[in-house]
């Protein structure tokens, strides 16, 4: 700690008055940077900081007069630069060195903990052994943030990741406070989501296309059928099972969307397992309707309802959240009309159904009518398929939905 004293601002000056503190406790201070304004009989001066560091304590309040030599402030000298363990830069991006204390002099000692691609890829023997033991893929690895120097992935980081990977739904592990400021602690779910999102965007080249769907027939049908369905089945008939059914038909017609990319070739999945995103308190969870192609609309409704209930109760099992080959997302419940969802690897696509909004559209030649319109937004893996297949898929889904009638069996 370094003591800052009231300077003698003139030959015969014996005291000075603190006029204005230019820095507050906790602020970084550069050497020679203005620290405080002082008024004396002769001179009004800005007193520069005698050294670099953090202003720890103000000893004399503004407006107070003290004699020359009185301690007016305490500065904590900067020693080794603070290491802010911010999430590491992705391996594919160029290295971005982070200067530790903004505005502080760079100390003569070891330079600030620079985040670098090199720091991340330098794996210690212990880390390598754990990666092998737990079969962590390169894709997963790129999503693990490093808490060591320079963003280094430490043994503990791997161990934490492995623990969370095993239980995506459970809340486990402790949080670690990091860096300057007071961040909100991350829940395991948030961590997992973050990690998956990063991994997805880093490895899958996303492309996005939208189809407008006239849902009027579906809307009408649902309005008519829901009460009877509720009475008979005890659950609501939402749009979800109908959309899922449409998606299943679409996937049957354009199966390339029900596939996964691998270095050895595109893997076409036999089963159609549709993940249906459910929002829960802390984030998002995606339970899976397995073999959705074998279920009727009512069947889909039942399964979806059960999964959603259990999701909200935190009662999903591991099989419930595994094995999806395609995902349907329903952001429209909150009114959004266009959404860009992020694909859940190793799937090849994700379909967002946005809000059904009544709009004036052109029908039957040139007439204007009010119809219930919905946008279907498809994000797809451009390695696996091109825009043509994506468009054809959407066309299939759209046509099925627009052609909806009482003829389509619910059961």
Q: Write the binding mask 106 to 145 for other proteins: x where contact by CB under 8 A, - elsewhere.
A: ------------------xxxxxx----------------
Q: Indicate whether 250 belongs to the interface with other proteins (CB under 8 A).
A: no
Closer residue to other proteins in complex, CB, 15/76: 76
Annotated active-site residue 27? The verdict is no
Q: Three-state SS string across the chain, please?
A: CEEEECCCCCCCCCEEEEEEECCCCCCEECCCCEEEEEECCCCEEEEECCCCEEEEEECCCCCCEEECCCEEEEEEECCCCCCCCCCCCCCCCCCCCCCCCCCCCCCCCCCCCCCCHHHHHCCCHHHHHHHHHCCCCHHHHHCCCCCCHHHCCCHHHHHHHHHHHHCCCCCCCCCCCCCCCCCCCCCHHHHHHHHHHHHHHHHCCEEEEEEEEECHHHHHHHHHHHHHHHHHHCCCCCHHHHHHHHHHHHHHHCHHHCEECCCCCCEECCCCCEEECEEECCEEECCEECCHHHCCHHHHHHHHHHHHHHHHCCCCCCHHHCCCCEEEECHHHHCCCCCCCCCCCCCCEEEEECCCEEEEEEECCCEEEEEEEEEEEEEEECCCCCHHHHHHHHHHHHHHHHCCCCCCCCC
Annotated active-site residue 206? The verdict is no
Q: Indicate whether 98 belongs to the interface with other proteins (CB under 8 A).
A: no
Site residues (CB under 8 A) for other proteins, limited to 281-340: none
Q: Of the listed pieces 68-76, 150-158, 223-231, 310-318, which binds other proteins according to CB under 8 A?
A: 150-158
Using N-to-C axis directions, what is the helix angle for 239-253 and 297-312, rounded to 10°? 120
Closer residue to other proteins in complex, CB, 131/193: 131
Site residues (CB under 8 A) for other proteins, limited to 204-223: none
**Closest distance of CB 119 from other proteins, Å:** 11
**Closest distance of CB 56 from other proteins, Å:** 20
Q: Write the binding mask 29 to 68 for other proteins: x where contact by CB under 8 A, - elsewhere.
A: ----------------------------------------
Q: Which of 5, 31, 134, 155 binds other proteins (CB under 8 A)?
A: 155
Please state, in angstroms and rounded to a whole number, the distance separating the CA atoms of residues 236 and 263.
43
Closer residue to other proteins in complex, CB, 149/225: 149
Q: Which of 17, 84, 154, 372 binds other proteins (CB under 8 A)?
A: 154
Closer residue to other proteins in complex, CB, 79/405: 79
**Closest distance of CB 144 from other proteins, Å:** 14
Q: Indicate whether 94 belongs to the interface with other proteins (CB under 8 A).
A: no
Q: Indicate whether 152 belongs to the interface with other proteins (CB under 8 A).
A: yes
**Closest distance of CB 125 from other proteins, Å:** 4
Q: How many residues bind other proteins (CB under 8 A)?
A: 12
Closer residue to other proteins in complex, CB, 133/227: 133
Q: Indicate whether 83 belongs to the interface with other proteins (CB under 8 A).
A: yes
Active-site amino acid positions: 382, 386
Q: Which residues bind other proteins (CB under 8 A)?
A: 83, 124-129, 148-149, 152, 154-155
């Amino acid at each position: 700690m370094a003591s800052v004293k009231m300077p003698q601002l003139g030959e015969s000056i014996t005291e000075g008055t603190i006029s204005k503190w230019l820095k507050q406790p906790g602020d970084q201070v550069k050497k020679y940077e203005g620290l405080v304004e002082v008024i004396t009989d002769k001179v009004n001066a800005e007193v520069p900081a005698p050294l670099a560091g953090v202003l720890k304590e103000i000893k004399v309040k503004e407006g107070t007069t003290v004699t020359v030599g009185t301690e007016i402030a305490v500065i904590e000298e900067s020693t080794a630069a603070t290491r802010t363990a911010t999430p590491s830069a992705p391996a594919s991006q160029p290295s971005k060195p982070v200067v530790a204390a903004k505005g502080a002099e760079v100390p003569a000692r070891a330079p600030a903990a620079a985040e670098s691609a090199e720091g991340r890829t330098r794996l210690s023997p212990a880390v390598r052994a754990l990666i092998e033991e737990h079969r962590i893929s390169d894709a997963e690895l790129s999503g693990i943030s490093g808490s060591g120097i320079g963003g280094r992935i430490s043994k503990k980081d791997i161990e934490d990741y492995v623990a969370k990977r095993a239980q995506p739904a459970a809340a486990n592990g402790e949080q670690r406070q990091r860096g300057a400021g007071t961040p909100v602690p991350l829940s395991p779910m948030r961590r997992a989501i973050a990690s998956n999102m990063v991994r997805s965007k880093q490895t899958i080249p996303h492309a996005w296309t939208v189809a407008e769907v006239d849902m009027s027939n579906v809307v009408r049908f649902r309005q008519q059928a829901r009460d009877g369905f509720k009475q008979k089945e005890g659950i609501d008939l939402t749009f979800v099972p109908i959309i899922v059914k449409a998606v299943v038909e679409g996937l049957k017609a354009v199966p390339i969307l029900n596939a996964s990319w691998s270095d050895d070739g595109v893997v076409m999945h036999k089963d159609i397992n549709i993940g249906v995103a459910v929002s829960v308190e802390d984030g998002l969870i995606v339970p899976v309707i397995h073999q959705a192609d074998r279920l009727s609309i009512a069947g889909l409704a039942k399964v979806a309802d059960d999964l959603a209930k259990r999701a909200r109760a935190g009662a999903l099992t591991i099989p419930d959240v595994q094995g999806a080959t395609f995902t349907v997302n329903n952001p429209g419940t909150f009114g959004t009309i266009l959404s860009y969802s992020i694909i859940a690897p190793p799937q090849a696509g994700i379909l967002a159904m946005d809000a059904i909004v009544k709009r004036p559209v052109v029908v039957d030649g040139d007439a204007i009518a009010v119809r219930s319109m919905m946008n279907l937004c498809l994000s797809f893996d451009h390695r696996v398929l091109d825009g043509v297949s994506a468009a054809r898929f959407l066309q299939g889904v759209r046509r099925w939905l627009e052609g909806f009638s009482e003829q389509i069996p619910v059961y």
